[in-house]
Amino acid sequence: MKTEAVIFDMDGVLTDSEWFIAEAGRLMFKENHGVDVTHADFLPFVGHGEDRFLGGVAAKYAVSSFDLARDKARTYELYEGLARGKLRELPGASAFVRSCRALGLRTALATSTDRVKMLVNLREIGLADGAFDALVNGQDVERKKPFPDIFLEAARRIGVRPGNCWVVEDSVGGVTAAVAAGMRCMALLTTFPEDALRAAGAALIVRDLATAEVARLV
């Protein structure tokens, strides 16, 4: 199979925003509902998009006043303030993306998060302008990872057959989604152990993008 494109997940691949979004969620629950939650409460819902991220915690604490649209909007306001000037790219992220483009590969971002958080993250890590040929977020598909929909949509938008795409992921669910889409997956050891990623079907496993070589994908 000829490699024509590389599709990137965001959190755990390009940046790590989990502390910031968990802190924003914690502040929101305290401000809007007077409920004290912890960062650990959000862990079971990481990677499933903010609807589930917030809704799962609201259900755990039986927050009857929870309003998804209102509470998510406030969480993003808090998130942007927390992340501004502090969110950083993970080692080698921007350099790897630009190396892909220098080799003539098309690039896409496929993240389960909502559009507003995606744009904040790209701005903060310096990949907002022209780094990707397509941006796909969790609001663009009905089924989230581990379903393949988001990766298939990314391939469709950049006009590349799924079999000619590599996906860069860090989670078991993301690897599962990439394999289900008929794509090869390079998994990073930033979140999950190697044996779990290999069992999910990762074709290549590296520590992070600073140690990855684009040439191995071509």
> Is-contact 127 87, C-beta < 8 A?
no
Q: Is the pLDDT of residue 73 over 80?
A: yes
| Domain ranges, ordered by start, for the chain | 5-15+88-217, 18-83
In whole angstroms, how large is the CA radius of gyration of the chain?
Answer: 17
Amino acid symbol at 63: V
Give the residue-averaged pLDDT of 9-14. 96
pLDDT band at 7 (very low <50, low <70, confident <90, very high): very high
pLDDT of residue 129: 86
d(CA 200, CA 203): 9
Catalytic, 149? Answer: no
* pLDDT tier, 205 (very low <50, low <70, confident <90, very high otherwise): very high
Which has the minimum average pLDDT: 30-39, 42-51, 67-76, 172-181? Answer: 42-51
Token pair recorded at residue 152? 């298939």
pTM of structure: 0.92
Over the stretch 86-132, which tens digit does the pLDDT of each residue have? 999 999 999 999 999 999 999 999 999 999 999 999 999 999 988 99
Separation between Cα atoms, residue 164 and residue 173, nearest integer Å: 21
Dihedral of CA atoms 45, 46, 49, 52 in degrees, nearest 10, equals 10
Q: Which of 11, 71, 114, 149 is catalytic?
A: 11
CB 110 within 8 A of CB 150: yes
What's the maximum distance between 2 C-alpha atoms anywhere in the chain?
Answer: 55
| β-bridge mates for residue 110, sequence order | 136
67 is catalytic: no
Tell me the two tokens of residue 137: 């977020």
> Catalytic pick from 9, 114, 149, 170?
9
Four-point Cα dihedral 200, 203, 207, 208, nearest 10: -100
Q: Which two three-digit tokens encode residue 59?
A: 């259900």
Selected from 3.30.70.890, 3.40.50.1000, 3.30.230.10, 1.10.490.10, the CATH number assigned to the domain covering 5-15+88-217 reads 3.40.50.1000
- Is the predicted pLDDT of residue 36 greater than 80, yes or no? yes
Per-residue confidence band for 48, with pLDDT thresholds at 50, 70 and 90: confident
Find tokens 């799962």 and name the residue: 56
Question: What does the pLDDT read at residue 122?
Answer: 97
Residue type, 126: G
Mean pLDDT on 14-26: 96
